[in-house]
Amino acid sequence: MALAASLGDEWKQVGHYLGVQRARIQAIMRNVTVGERSEQEAKYDMLVTWLKGAAKALDKVSALSMALKYSDRHDLAEAVKERTRDFSDMRQQHLTIAN
């Protein structure tokens, strides 16, 4: 939920660039308006909605990074890529040790 917490008001724009349907974003926003969800939970819901609907073959890191860049969140786009690189490095080290 760290990414969701880092997003500001641009979370709706990020959702748009990720291809989350406008009606779904509006439904998520309504839940905040009526007090059922917090703003942070709404951002998280949008990301989960996108992730569940994304094609398995989609490079999700690249798609998310591009959506963040298009929404002028270059800092978060780089953080996502950096975290992915760190994870890949750790995985490679683990595989090397295991063999």
Please report the pLDDT score of residue 89 as a whole number. Answer: 65
CATH of the domain at 46: 1.10.533.10
Low-confidence residues of the chain, pLDDT below 70?
1, 86-92, 94-95, 98-99
- Host domain of residue 26: 2-98
Please report the pLDDT score of residue 79 as a whole number. Answer: 94
Number of domains in the chain: 1
First to last CA, the chain: 34
Alpha-carbon distances, residue 6 vs 75, 76, 78, 79, 97 (angstroms): 10, 8, 13, 11, 35
